[in-house]
Structure 1
Amino acid sequence: MLALVGVTAGLVVALGSSSGHADEAAPASSAPTSAAPTAAVTGTPSAAPSGSATSTVKGQVSQGSHTGDLRFFLLAPPKDAEVYGDEAGSPLTAAEIASTASDEAEMKRALSEYGFKGAAFRTYLTAGGGAEVTVKLSRFADPASAAGYYNAHYYEGTKLTLTGGYPARAYHLKSASSESTDSMLAISYQGDVHITVTVTGGRTVEPKLLQSLLDAQYQHLKTGR
Structure 2
Amino acid sequence: MSVSEPTPGQGPAAAPAQQPSATESNPFAPPASENTEVASEKTEAASENTEAVPSDAPQPSAAGRGLPRAAGVALAVAGLLAVTATSAAVTVVVGRPDPAGRAVAAPAVTASASASASASASPSPTPTPTPPPTVAPRPASTLQGSVSGGKHSGDLRYFLLPVPDNADPYGSPDGAMLSMEDLQAQYSDSVDIKEVLDSWGFKDAAGRTYRLRDGKTEIRSELKRFGRTDRAQGFADHSGYGDDSFDIDGVSNAKGYIFKPKEQAYTGALIGIGVVGDVVYEITVEVQGDPDKALLFDAMKRERDRLTNG
| Runs of at least 5 residues in structure 2 that lack an aligned partner in the other structure | 1-30, 33-38, 45-61, 80-99, 103-134
Percentage of matched positions with identical amino acids: 29
CA deviations on 1:169-225 (whole Å, 9 max, x unpaired) are 10012459998511100001101001110000124431011011101101110111x
Q: Partner of 1:11 in structure 2? A: 66
The one-letter code matched in structure 2 to 1:26 is V
Show the counterpart of 1:97: 183
Instruction: Tell me the equivalent position of 2:197.
Output: 111
SS at match of 2:174: coil
Q: Does 1:29 align with 2:67?
A: no
Q: 1:68 to 1:6 in 2, by over 3 A?
A: farther
Match of 1:200 in 2: 286
CA distance 1:122–1:185, change in 2 (3 Å): same
Give TM-score, length-normalised by structure 1.
Answer: 0.78
Number of residue pairs matched? 203
Q: C-alpha distance in 2, partners of 1:54/1:158?
A: 41
Structure 1 or 2: more helix by fraction: 1
CA distance in structure 1 between the aligned counterparts of 2:208 and 2:175, rounded to whole angstroms:
5
Residue from 252, 255, 270 that aligns with 1:166: 252
* 2:163 is aligned with 1:84: no
8 Å contact from structure 1 (residues 131, 205) kept in 2: no
> Relative to structure 2, which stretch is displaced further, 167-176 or 139-148?
167-176
Structure-2 change in CA distance of 1:112 and 1:214 (3 Å): same
Using CA pairs under 8 Å that are at least 6 residues apart, name the structure with larger relative contact order, 1 or 2.
Answer: 1
Preserved CA contact (<8 Å) 1:53 1:88: no
| Matching residue of 2:124 | none
Alpha-carbon offset, residue 117 of structure 1: 1.0
Task: State the distance in 2 between where 1:107 and 1:74 align.
Answer: 22
**Aligned partners of 2:43 and 2:172: how far apart in 1?**
21
- Partner residue of 2:89? none
- TM-score with structure 2 setting the length: 0.58
> Are 1:190 and 2:296 counterparts?
no
Q: Which amino acid aligns with 1:216?
A: R
Which residue matches 2:267?
A: 181
Aligned to 2:17: none
Secondary structure of the 2:236 match is helix
Which of 139, 143, 155 in structure 2 is aligned with 1:69? 155
1:141-194: CA deviations, max 9, x gaps? 111111111122210375333223421110012459998511100001101001
Q: CA RMSD for the aligned pairs?
A: 2.9
Give 1:51 shift: 5.0
Quote how far apart the aligned CAs of 1:129 are. Answer: 0.9
| SS of residue matched to 2:256 | strand
Q: CA deviation at 1:7?
A: 8.0
Partner AA of 1:214 in structure 2: M
8 Å CA contact retained: 2:40, 2:188: yes
Is the alpha carbon distance of 1:156 and 1:55 closer, same or farther for their aligned partners in structure 2, counting shifts above 3 Å? Answer: same
1:144–1:50 distance in 2 versus 1, CA, 3 Å: farther
